[in-house]
Amino acid sequence: MSKEKFQEKIDAEKKIEPKDWMPEAYRKHLIRQISQHAHSEIIGMQPEGNWISRAPSLRAKMILLAKVQDEAGHGLYLYSACETLGISRQELIQQLHEGKAKYSSIFNYPTLSWADMGAVGWLVDGAAIVNQVSLQRTSYGPYSRGMVKICKEESFHQRQGYEIMSEMANGTPEQKEMAQDALNRFWWPSIMMFGPHDGDSPRTGNAMKWKIKRQTNDELRQSFIDKTVHQAEIIGLTIPDPDLKWNEERGHYDFGEMDWDEFWDVVNGNGPCNKQRLDHHKKAHDDGKWVRKAAKAYSDKQKNLVKN
Ligand code: 3HC
């Protein structure tokens, strides 16, 4: 198939499947995006995992456990979708460990109080939902189908986070203060999850041409902000942006400028928790070596039984 024929297929909203011909650049672009998405899901388990043993009630503990387990499953779907593009899980993990692959900047911030569990669920998963609902229409079949399943679970993640924030914002003055502090620390890193402005995004051009992305970084960011401002007002919390203001003419909220020096600092490995997150992942991967070895020995044995 020619690149022109391939583009016609994309323009006709046809899904591209693993066995279909695809330009090498399309395949490589997808491997980058899907693998970094998968890494984000798995690394994202750490900030919340820290609080499972410190949850304030058995109910809260069960909810957080379920959420963190969901994230592991999301990582699994996404790694599996990525492997259909002809790259192995080992290579993907090695790229992460060698710093050749990224994961979402948001997970390099510390979670300092229980209210942070609320802010992460409400804002981080809320932002992820906006991004991932759009990705359900991505042109690559396995990625698109994985998103459908993930989005169903993300809604629970966002609601449980918002419930924590609502309870604390309406609790004692100290609890309200903790909730506001968590919002202050997570608001700007959450809106930076959507990536650089469209004009500064080297990948958006091809991503939109090949319908890997269906909306741009700025479109998704604006959609998230428009959805979230009222949610903060309802529970009596203040979004830490003095420039946030409804613009009747645009039909959207105007908002302040993000700190792009901070963003690229964190993306390039110099955030508050980058080293901790990667060291933890490397140790967990090493500790799990025996499990992978045993699983491989078992599957090899099964294959030999079938063969003989
Ligand atoms: N953190 C880390 N890296 C980021 C980033 C961020 N917030 N935003 C952008 N980048 C990276 C991009 O990956 C790209 O890196 P690369 O060229 O080495 O691949 C580079 O910065 C340039 O950015 P672009 O905007 O040009 O890149 P993209 O077009 O890929 O857009 C994106 C970035 C919007 C994150 C897009 O990759 C995307 O939609 N990815 C899928 C969704 C995803 O990964 N979400 C991460 C969070 S997952 C999550 O929150 C799980 C939930 O359950 C908690």
Note the pLDDT tens digit of each residue in 165-215: 999 999 999 999 999 999 999 999 999 999 999 999 999 999 999 999 999
Q: What is the per-residue pLDDT for 1?
A: 80
Cα 36 to ligand 1 centre (Å): 7
Residue type, 275: K
Q: What is the pLDDT of residue 2?
A: 87
- Of 158, 201, 220, the residue with max ligand 1 atoms within 8 A of its CB, to mutate for a pocket test, comes to 201
Q: Which residue ranges in the chain fall short of pLDDT 50? A: none
Mutating to test ligand 1, I would choose from 28, 31, 33, 265 the residue with most ligand atoms within 8 A of its C-beta, which is 33
Q: Distance, CA 267 to ligand 1 centroid (Å)?
A: 10
| Residues 6+ positions from 297 with CB-CB distance below 8 Å | none
User: Which residues does a 6 A CB cutoff place in the pocket of ligand 1?
Assistant: 32-33, 36-37, 40-41, 44, 71, 74, 102, 104-105, 124-125, 128, 131, 154, 192-196, 201-204, 207, 217, 267
Residue 216 CA, ligand 1 centroid: distance in Å: 11
pLDDT at 308: 81
